[in-house]
Amino acid sequence: MEDKEMNNLWKRAREVYLRLTNSEADRSLAERHFSNVEDLRTDGDTLVVSLNSEQTKSIFENKMSDRLLDALRLAGAPESFSLKYVVAEPKHITIAPPKAQPLHSQFQDSAAAAEEPLGLSLKPEYVFSEFVEGMSNRWALNTAKGISKDPGNKAYNPFFIHGGTGLGKTHLMQAIGNELKANRPDLKICYINAEAFMNEYMNALQKHTLDNFRQRYRTLDVLLMDDVQFMASKNNLQEEFFNTFYTLQNNGKQIVMTSDVAPKNLPALEPRLMSRFEGGIVQSIEAPQFETRLAILKKKAESFASLIPEMALVFIAENIRSQVRAMEGALNKIKVLAENDPNFKDNISNTVLNIILKDQIDKEKKIKAITCQDIIDTVCSHFNITLEQIQSSERTQELVLPRQMAMFISYNFTQLGYKQLEMHFKKTHATILSGVKKFKNHLDTEPQIVEKLNEVINKLGFSMKDMRD
Ligand code: ADP
Ligand code: MG
């Protein structure tokens, strides 16, 4: 293989590898590891990767090799291709591998960058027009849009967005930043995450430039602080952030924060910070429903729609539902295959997709193990009844319908069989089976029951499409 060809292959594989990582933290770690590659050469069908130390060699060998090989194949390497790792001898370095192109550039801390905006850079694609609205994110999206029109308005200051990982918090937060940058060049805006904020703070401590650091943060118009859960149990950081927060808020400046949990569930958060966080508007982003998932996939696949049949998008939306990021990972995997195989569209089927996306689907099964308890709790709260009433043998209409509905959902949305449901309902499996059947019959004739069922299923983060076959 020619050097150029090899370098290109490596570049693509590296890109695929990074896209296959699950979190931003993993991604930046992987980027760091890639930057330790000193040299590449081929030896027959073996790609020999030289690393700058024994330690990185062992990381590549033990932690990264499987995925890297997958990525190489997805990037077009022949099946027979294999990998070998060596430690580079400094004098023999020949070809410089393509340098890591950071997905996020680090914050600027040099004096030369004084003119530059503070914090981390915004991704240009994280804008409102690329964000698909759904029931799971409607409120947070509306608030974010409101802020982008009138930052600092007391109605939504501070704004705290929480929700599971990969559900769009960062996208939404950066969309506020992008919108304001475009329309309000007069404002000083900073997007940063708690970790980078801490690094910068530590740096300032060491270099005795705290005054400068504080001055920069406390004169902002808009502070977008991502992933504040990182501050938990870091007392000096919380103290610093509190003071920044306090100053900004007192001056009517906008603060937006995200976290993977609600403020009240942030461990080791100082009470005064907690009460500040809760003092504004707190909204959550949930996992999107099927229709939203499909709409998101269509949006993400817009630029390469001709390569990928709709059934593949439907397949992903049906099978990967806990994280938008995981869906995107699956879509990218399919995209790379479609780009490299002219017959992809003709040969694709659910069976093939199942094989290609096996890892993602297996992972999903583990994540989204919804329990019968969740279902019964949700039905009870929706109909305002108790667990004891569900489990009782009382046969009033107010109880029969919710009871049958809980049985129906439990059977159709978990992997449990009738026998395994017995203990949850304190009924025999025959009673449960009959309850499920009766409920199903209602669905064919009574639209208002279908509507109620939909409401409960949506509350659980599912849609009817997610039902087992
Ligand atoms: P979080 O910060 O919650 O972990 P991100 O904002 O990083 O999640 O989102 C993960 C990925 O999912 C991003 O690529 C983002 O664009 C995408 N995403 C999430 N929700 C939506 C949505 N409603 N519409 C379009 N893309 C979305
Ligand atoms: Mg995020």
pLDDT tens column, 230-285: 887 777 888 889 999 999 999 999 999 999 888 887 777 778 888 888 889 999 99
* Ligand 1 center to 126 CA (angstroms): 8
- Residue 367 pLDDT exceeds 60: no
Q: For residue 324, which atom of ligand 1 is closest to its CA?
A: 12
Residue 225: nearest ligand to its CA?
Answer: 2
Average of per-residue pLDDT across 290-307: 94
Tracing tokens 């073996």 back to the chain, one arrives at 46
Q: Using alpha carbons only, how large is the chain's radius of gyration in Å? A: 26
Verify whether ligand 1 is closer than 6 Å to residue 144 (CB atom).
no
- Residue 148 pLDDT exceeds 50: yes
Verify whether ligand 1 is closer than 6 Å to residue 121 (CB atom).
no
Verify whether ligand 1 is closer than 6 Å to residue 168 (CB atom).
yes
* Ligand 2 center to 120 CA (angstroms): 13
Q: For residue 295, which atom of ligand 1 is closest to its CA?
A: 24
pLDDT digits (tens, 9 = 90+) for 9-36: 898 888 878 877 777 778 888 888 998 8
pLDDT at residue 441, as a whole number: 93
Rounded Cα distance between 320 and 357, Å, is 10
Lowest mean pLDDT segment, chosen from 105-109, 147-151, 181-185? 105-109
Rounded Cα distance between 46 and 29, Å, is 25
Verify whether ligand 1 is closer than 6 Å to residue 167 (CB atom).
yes
Closest residue (by CA) to atom 1 of ligand 1?
A: 166
pLDDT at residue 63, as a whole number: 87
Calculated CA dihedral for residues 443, 447, 452, 453, nearest 10 degrees: 30
- Closest by alpha carbon to 466, among 381, 375, 348, 358? 375
Verify whether ligand 1 is closer than 6 Å to residue 293 (CB atom).
no
pLDDT at residue 108, as a whole number: 39
pLDDT at residue 188, as a whole number: 95
Per-residue pLDDT band for 90 (boundaries 50, 70, 90) equals low
Tracing tokens 């998932």 back to the chain, one arrives at 293
Strand order in the sheet with 46-51: 37-43, 46-51, 82-87
pLDDT at residue 84, as a whole number: 93
Q: CB within 8 A of 84, min separation 6: which ones?
A: 43, 46, 47, 48, 49
Q: For residue 285, which atom of ligand 1 is closest to its CA?
A: 3
Verify whether ligand 1 is closer than 6 Å to residue 122 (CB atom).
no
pLDDT at residue 91, as a whole number: 53
Verify whether ligand 1 is closer than 6 Å to residue 259 (CB atom).
no
* Ligand 2 center to 171 CA (angstroms): 7
pLDDT at residue 79, as a whole number: 77
- Residue 376 pLDDT exceeds 80: yes
User: Ligand 1: which of 128, 136, 171 to mutate, judged by most atoms within 8 Å of the beta carbon?
Assistant: 171
Q: How is residue 342 written in tokens?
A: 């002219």
Closest residue (by CA) to atom 23 of ligand 1?
A: 132
Verify whether ligand 1 is closer than 6 Å to residue 284 (CB atom).
no
Q: For residue 133, which atom of ligand 1 is closest to its CA?
A: 23
**Ranges of H-type helices in 251-289:** 271-278
Most confident of 50-54, 286-290, 407-411: 407-411
CA torsion sign, 153 to 158 to 164 to 165? positive
Residue 229: nearest ligand to its CA?
Answer: 2
Tracing tokens 């009138």 back to the chain, one arrives at 150
Verify whether ligand 1 is closer than 6 Å to residue 321 (CB atom).
no
Mean pLDDT of the chain: 86
| Residue 441 CA to its chain's centroid (Å) | 38
Verify whether ligand 1 is closer than 6 Å to residue 165 (CB atom).
yes
Average of per-residue pLDDT across 182-196: 94
Q: CB within 8 A of 385, min separation 6: which ones?
A: 398, 399, 402
Q: For residue 299, which atom of ligand 1 is closest to its CA?
A: 25
- Residue 463 pLDDT exceeds 80: no
Verify whether ligand 1 is closer than 6 Å to residue 325 (CB atom).
yes
Verify whether ligand 1 is closer than 6 Å to residue 132 (CB atom).
yes
Lowest mean pLDDT segment, chosen from 150-154, 266-270, 450-454, 461-465? 461-465
| Residue 127 CA to its chain's centroid (Å) | 16
Taking each helix axis from N to C terminus, what angle separates 372-383 and 397-413, rounded to the nearest 10 degrees?
Answer: 150
User: Ligand 1: which of 167, 227, 321, 327 to mutate, judged by most atoms within 8 Å of the beta carbon?
Assistant: 167
* Ligand 1 center to 413 CA (angstroms): 25
- Closest by alpha carbon to 7, among 104, 69, 81, 96? 96
pLDDT at residue 103, as a whole number: 41
Verify whether ligand 1 is closer than 6 Å to residue 320 (CB atom).
no
- Residue 160 pLDDT exceeds 90: yes
